[in-house]
Each structure stands twice: as C-alpha cells, then as structure tokens.
C-alpha cells in the first residue's frame, strides 16, 4: 500500500491509540495525529490496529490522521555514537536542546548520529572481494578506538567498488555487484537481535576493581548480573563505579524510568569523569540513554532495546561491552501500564503474563560470542531492580533471578551504616565461580577458590553466632569462636568495605585483593596457633598487627608495607606464645 495513504484515529487511551483505515504490519512505525507523533503498531485486530505512542498524547483526538512508514523501530549505527546522550528512541538530547531549549517539542525528529560530520574512512577490502554479512569493509578512527565499519545483517555479495577518503556517514563509500550501496552507517531494528556465529561459554571475569564483586561475587564477561535493592541502597552509584573502573571497552548506560534528579546527576557527572585507563574523558567510550520517569512510558519500554542493540553493534566489532540498565523495574512498570490499557489479562501484581519472557529475551541478548566476521566480543548485562519496599519476592526480582547467574543483593541497613559497597554477602551469590576457576588460578592464586569459600564460611559462621552474642554477649562464647568473630570483622571491614572516595582504595587490582586475603588468613592461623599454645583469646584480640591491614589497602605501593604488616602480625603472636609458655 502506498505510504501517502492515511488512516484515522478512533480511540485514545494515554500512550495507547487505536486507528483504522490503512494496512499495517506488526512493529511498523507510524506517525500519529497532526503533530506526527512517533508510535509503533503492537496489536492488529480485524478492522483496526493498536499503536503505542512514544510521546505525550495530550490533545490528540479521534479523527486525526495516521501514516504508516512501513519501517520497524530502528537505531542508526555508525561512527558518532560514542559520547552521545539519547532519549529512549535515539534522539540526541544535546542536539534537541540546542534547537529548542530544555523542553522538547512533540513530533520532532533528529538523526541518531551526525550526518554532516566527516570521518576519515580507510577501506580494508578490495574490489572483487566476496563478503558475507557482518564482514568488516573499513575502519574509522573515533577517539582512541578504531571503529570497524561492517556490512549490515542480511547483506552480502561481491565488492564492485570501494574507496577510502573523507566522508559523512550517509555518503556512499562503495557498492556491491547487485547494486547495494555501502555507507558507514546503517539502521538496525531494535527488537531483532543482531546475528552472530556462535555463543561461547564465558571464561574471563569482568573485573571491576571492587573487592566484593571481584572476590566474592564475580560476573563473567558475557554474563548477566541482577542488582536489586531498595531506595538509597546504592544501585546507581554501584553501576557508575562499575562503568568507570571495569575493564569493559565500551559502556552503555540506560537510565530507564529513573527519577529526574537521579538521571540529572548521571548526565552531569559522567561527562566529568576521567577514564583511569586513558586519562581522558570517560564519555569517549560511553553512550548514555536517558529516559526519566516523567517521560512517556512507551519510550521507556523501547529504551532498553535501543541500548542492547547499540551494545550488540560494538560487540560485533570484537569489543567487550558493559550494559547498565537502571532500572528494569521501571521498564516492567511501563509494560504493565501499556498491558492494562490494552485490557490484557493481568498476571502477578498486575504485570503482564509475558513479563518473564520479555526479561529472558532481553538478558539472552547478552553473552560472549564469535561474531560473523570472526571477532570475539561480549555484552555483560547488569540490570538494576527496584523492588517496592525492598521486597525481593516481587515478580520482577524473581523473574530476573531465573535468568541472571549473578545476584548482588543491596541492603539498606548496610547503606545506613555507611558500609560500602552495601552488598549483603549472605543473600548474594555468583554462579560463575566454576567457569572462572582457571582464570583466577592463573592470574590470582592456585588456591583462589578454596580461599573464597573459606572466607564465606567464616562470614556465615559469624552470622550464626551473632544470635547468641546478642543474647549473652561475646565473652560467653568459646575462645575459638571469639577468634572467628574477630576474623569475620576483619573480612567485613578490610575486604568487603571499600572507600570510593579514597584515591587508592577506590580501585583494587586482583593481585592486591589476593594479598589482603592472605593477611586475613595469616592473622587467623597465627591466632589459632597462639590459642592452642595457651594464650587467652582476650590477649590475642588486643594485638595491633591486624589493624595494619587497613594501612596496606590504602597504600598505592602496598608491597612496601606488606612485609612489615606480615611481620607485625606474626611477631606479636610469637611474643604472646613465649609469654605463656
């Protein structure tokens, strides 16, 4: 059907509009009303169809026109994505601000990447080369990255012509023999995952420099982590820290339905952050997608897919991408609102019955893969969840746990005590320990797995003993258990806690974490040895060497004080043993 034919609106219910009069297909993008608001077809009935509109529908009325574009919701991929800040449907907010100020008008359009900026394109294939979909045809220098220009999915053929030079992303840089024009940019439907050759088992962690994650609950590159927690527990701060300090090549941060003031903090702080790897702006390897809670819910629902599609694009270039979704609860709430307006049968707590399927489909797009062009890239998805009242039994948290192999449970009580990171070590877990075993053996210690299990055993024993302590006090415990409580305290204060504002402690390499763990065990073993030699637990607990562990973790060149601390711990215990012989 010709695209100039117009349908008409017959019903409006918030972001959901019913129309009739033209032929449409599922997921077609349509222009709604006289202001040509952007919407997507989500349901087709016998004589009408339903549209979810990505913009505010105030003032839209029955009888206004609807025009079909015959295109799915897509993002434009190419040089110029990095350092950009988009809304939920890839409209660049910085460009819109320049054109119309702080209040975005309805029905406006803007290119996802600049169509006027020129890039130096270097062709890496020659005339006559036969290429499959996803093949790399050239390179562009973008900040410190070599941006690889690829054939779009489902495009292949023999190169008829190609040239290097200075071009915009819409200029033709080559052609295939079948006449297909090659450009530096292309469009990708967001609800369709980009193709790859094979999905691989993860074998390397996404190192974050934060001890509680790297040591106790690691997430693999290509893995999925859930980050649930109540208001004020530190979800956004945690994701920002991981974005800054992790060894991901690219960071995609999706602010999905978060409060305006929180998203404002992200938008103002991120451009100021310095990348510790390069010393340049962190934004040079970051894409921000901002969709606050006061924006239309349909765009909030789409923002997650926009983020994961951009992440897949960089993954296909052989890069490791960290995707932060903050928060999937707001995304689920958008689905719930649209579902209710469609008068669908509600599931648990009013969420649509397909909530678990949508969550699984989204997280399934993460992973470590061999790309179509033979590169190896990954997407690590870290989804924040905001359960009402911190109730982890609610549907979004529970359905996320079914697909996430890493669970970082934030605790409001720990946050109130200023214990950062406020990860509850008893409720959290990671199922990646086994797949990462060989990596930690090679890079940290051959006994790494045993050490981590032993640390967790001590913390669990402390939790069991605390009920007795609260009733009768720690002095009534056997002396060996008093030592256990002290060791657990050292683990909590010197390993689990980390000072994000200290210029040294805010990032802890794996080697340093291993040396700190060895200090904890050195104190534990020395204390047990002294106890067995007849030294009272009271005297052991009064030793000062254990407090030197804090000095070690705050030193940049910690190796200089490491030996001194080891000696302080052992010499004090040896002196006690001599005294009580």
DSSP letter at 371 equals -
Per-residue confidence of the chain (581 residues) as pLDDT tens digits? 344 689 999 999 989 999 999 999 999 999 999 999 999 999 999 899 999 999 889 899 999 999 999 999 999 999 999 999 898 889 898 888 777 767 777 878 889 999 999 999 999 999 999 999 999 999 999 998 899 999 998 999 999 999 999 999 999 999 999 999 999 999 999 999 999 999 999 999 999 999 999 999 999 999 999 999 888 788 888 888 888 889 999 999 998 877 777 777 777 777 777 877 778 888 889 999 988 777 778 888 889 999 999 999 999 999 999 999 988 998 998 899 889 888 889 889 999 999 999 999 999 999 999 999 999 999 999 999 988 878 889 999 999 999 999 999 999 889 888 888 899 999 999 999 999 999 999 999 999 999 999 999 999 999 999 888 888 888 888 999 999 999 999 999 999 999 888 889 989 999 999 999 999 999 999 999 999 999 999 999 998 888 888 889 999 899 989 999 999 999 999 999 998 87
Distance between CA 463 and CA 258 in Å, rounded? Answer: 34
Element (H, E) at 346: none
Identify the pLDDT of residue 473.
83
Distance between CA 200 and CA 177 in Å, rounded? Answer: 34
Element (H, E) at 19: strand 16-20
DSSP-assigned beta bridge partners for residue 44: 49
Backbone angles phi, psi at 174, to 5 degrees: 180, 175
Identify the pLDDT of residue 374.
92
Distance between CA 217 and CA 8 in Å, rounded? Answer: 54
Identify the pLDDT of residue 53.
92
pTM: 0.92
Question: Which tokens belong to 486?
Answer: 């002290």
Domains, in order of start, for the chain = 6-72 (2.40.30.20), 77-101+112-189 (2.40.50.100), 198-429 (3.40.50.300), 448-579 (1.10.1140.10)
Side-chain-side CA neighbours of 473 within 13 Å: the count stands at 2
Question: Which tokens belong to 203?
Answer: 């074998």
Element (H, E) at 216: none
DSSP string, 291-332: EETTS-HHHHHHHHHHHHHHHHHHHTTT-EEEEEEETHHHHH
Question: Which tokens belong to 392?
Answer: 């982890």
Question: Is 504 exposed, middle or buried, given 0-12, 13-18 or 19+ CB atoms closer than 10 A?
Answer: middle
DSSP letter at 155 equals -
Identify the pLDDT of residue 408.
95
Q: 246 near 209, Cβ under 8 Å?
A: yes
Helices 479-490 & 510-532 angle (0-180, nearest 10): 160
DSSP letter at 210 equals -
| CA-closest candidate to residue 214, choices 541, 509, 567, 1 | 509
**Cα R_g (the chain), whole angstroms:** 28
Identify the pLDDT of residue 428.
95
Element (H, E) at 369: strand 367-370
DSSP-assigned beta bridge partners for residue 174: 162, 182
Identify the pLDDT of residue 4.
60
DSSP string, 405-464: SEE--B-HHHHHTT-SS-B-TTT-EES-TTTTHHHHHHHT-TTHHHHHHHHHHHHHHHHH
| CA-closest candidate to residue 325, choices 302, 349, 355, 341 | 302
Distance between CA 89 and CA 73 in Å, rounded? Answer: 8
Helix segments in 39-184, DSSP class H:
93-100
Identify the pLDDT of residue 355.
93
Q: 462 near 524, Cβ under 8 Å?
A: no
Distance between CA 382 and CA 311 in Å, rounded? Answer: 13
- Peptide bond preceding 61: is omega within 30 degrees of 0, i.e. cis? no
Identify the pLDDT of residue 2.
43
- Peptide bond preceding 421: is omega within 30 degrees of 0, i.e. cis? yes
Neighbour tally for 436: CB within 10 Å? 22
Distance between CA 531 and CA 507 in Å, rounded? Answer: 36
Terminal-residue alpha carbon distance, the chain: 98
Phi-psi map region of 400: left, alpha, beta (phi>0 left; psi -120 to 50 alpha): alpha
| CA-closest candidate to residue 466, choices 543, 525, 212, 458 | 458
Element (H, E) at 545: none
Residue recorded with tokens 């003031």? 261
Side-chain-side CA neighbours of 529 within 13 Å: the count stands at 16
Identify the pLDDT of residue 464.
92
């Amino acid at each position: 059907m010709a695209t100039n034919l117009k349908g008409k609106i017959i019903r409006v219910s918030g972001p959901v509009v019913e129309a009739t009069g033209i032929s449409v297909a599922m997921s077609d993008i349509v222009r709604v009303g006289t202001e040509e608001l952007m919407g997507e077809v989500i349901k087709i009935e016998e004589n009408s169809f339903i549209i979810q509109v990505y913009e505010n529908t105030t003032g839209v009325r029955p009888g206004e026109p609807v025009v079909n574009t015959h295109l799915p919701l897509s993002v434009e991929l190419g040089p110029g994505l990095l350092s950009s800040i988009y809304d939920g449907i890839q409209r660049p907010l910085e460009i819109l601000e320049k054109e119309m100020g702080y209040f975005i008008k309805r029905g406006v359009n803007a290119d996802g990447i600049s169509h006027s900026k020129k890039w130096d394109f270097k062709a890496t294939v020659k005339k006559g080369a036969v290429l499959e979909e996803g093949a790399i045809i050239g390179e562009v220098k973008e900040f410190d990255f070599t941006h690889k220009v690829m054939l779009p999915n489902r495009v292949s053929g023999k190169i008829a012509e190609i040239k290097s030079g200075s071009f915009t992303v819409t200029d033709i840089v080559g052609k295939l023999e079948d006449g297909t024009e090659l450009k530096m940019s292309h469009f990708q439907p967001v609800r369709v995952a980009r193709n790859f050759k094979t999905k691989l088992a993860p074998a390397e962690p996404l190192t974050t420099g934060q001890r509680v994650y790297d040591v106790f609950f690691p997430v693999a590159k290509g893995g999925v982590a859930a980050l649930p927690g109540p208001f004020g527990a530190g979800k956004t701060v945690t994701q920002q820290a991981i974005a800054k300090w992790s060894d991901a090549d690219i960071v995609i941060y999706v602010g999905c339905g978060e409060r305006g003031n929180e998203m404002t903090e992200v938008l103002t702080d991120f451009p100021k952050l310095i990348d510790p790897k390069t010393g340049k702006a962190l934004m040079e390897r970051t894409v921000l997608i901002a969709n606050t809670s006061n924006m239309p819910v349909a765009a909030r629902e789409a923002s997650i897919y926009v983020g994961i599609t951009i992440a897949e694009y960089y993954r296909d270039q052989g890069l490791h991408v960290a995707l932060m979704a903050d928060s999937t609860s707001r995304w689920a709430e958008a689905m719930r609102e649209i579902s209710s307006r469609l008068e669908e049968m509600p599931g648990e707590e009013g969420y649509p019955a397909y909530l678990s399927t949508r969550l699984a489909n989204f997280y399934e797009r993460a992973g470590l893969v061999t790309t179509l062009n033979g590169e190896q890239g990954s997407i690590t998805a870290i989804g924040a969840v905001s359960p009402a009242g911190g109730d982890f039994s609610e549907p979004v948290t529970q359905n996320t746990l079914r697909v996430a192999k890493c669970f970082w449970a934030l605790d409001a009580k720990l946050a109130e005590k200023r214990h950062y990171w406020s990860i509850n070590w008893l409720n959290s877990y990671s199922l990646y320990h086994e797949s990462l075993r060989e990596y930690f053996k090679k890079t940290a210690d051959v006994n790494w797995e045993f050490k981590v299990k032993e640390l967790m055993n001590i913390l669990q024993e402390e939790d069991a003993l605390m009920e007795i302590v609260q009733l009768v006090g720690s002095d009534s415990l056997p002396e060996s258990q008093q030592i256990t409580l002290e060791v657990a305290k050292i683990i909590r204060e010197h390993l689990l806690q980390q000072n994000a504002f200290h210029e040294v402690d805010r990032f802890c390499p794996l080697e340093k974490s291993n040396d700190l763990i060895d200090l904890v065990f050195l104190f534990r073993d020395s204390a047990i040895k002294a106890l067995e030699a007849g030294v009272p637990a009271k005297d052991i607990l009064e030793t000062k060497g254990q407090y030197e562990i804090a000095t070690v973790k705050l030193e940049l060149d910690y190796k200089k004080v490491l030996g001194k601390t080891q000696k302080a711990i052992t010499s004090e215990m040896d002196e006690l043993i001599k005294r009580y012989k």
